[in-house]
Amino acid sequence: MSQIYVPNTGELYLLEHGLNTDDLTLGLFKNDLSTSHGLIFSDIIAADYTGYAAKTLTSTAWAYSTVDNKGHAEYAQQNFIAGTIGTSCTVYGIYCYEPVGSILVYVEKFDTEVVVDATGQVISYIPVIEGASA
């Protein structure tokens, strides 16, 4: 069987039409999970520090371009701000999902976990989804 090749224009088309369908949700997770292709939404344990709230990524607000010869979709920076801390929470990474069907779109573990233990502490993140062309 021959290999399928998706050019940059095809990647951009697929990203834009896929992301313009539904709003996504971006959240932080607190379990030290192993990332794999078999991960599903129920594998994630959401952060639960005071003031934490997942973010809605509106489908029409993504920006599309080609970066390093790859289709690239980027969203504005999202800031997760802690409220008054009673108990600390260790955050291992970020996850993005489609909320209606609880479909896990992607997971990104931080290089180093973040301990949320101070009132007003901020975790900032820029959502990016890229194609994987060579």
Would you call 41 helix, strand, or coil by DSSP?
helix
> Is residue 58 one of the residues assigned to a domain?
yes
CB within 8 A of 14, min separation 6: which ones? 6, 71, 131
User: Looking at the predicted structure, is the pLDDT value of residue 134 above 70?
Assistant: no
Phi then psi for residue 42, to 5 deg, are -70, -10
User: Looking at the predicted structure, is the pLDDT value of residue 40 above 80?
Assistant: yes
> Is residue 106 one of the residues assigned to a domain?
yes
> Is residue 41 one of the residues assigned to a domain?
yes
pTM for the full model? 0.88
The pLDDT assigned to 21 comes to 83
> Is residue 78 one of the residues assigned to a domain?
yes
How many domains, the chain?
1
The more confident residue out of 112 and 38 is 112
Sheet containing 89-98: which strands, arranged edge to edge?
55-57, 24-29, 89-98, 103-116
**Domain range for residue 26?**
8-128
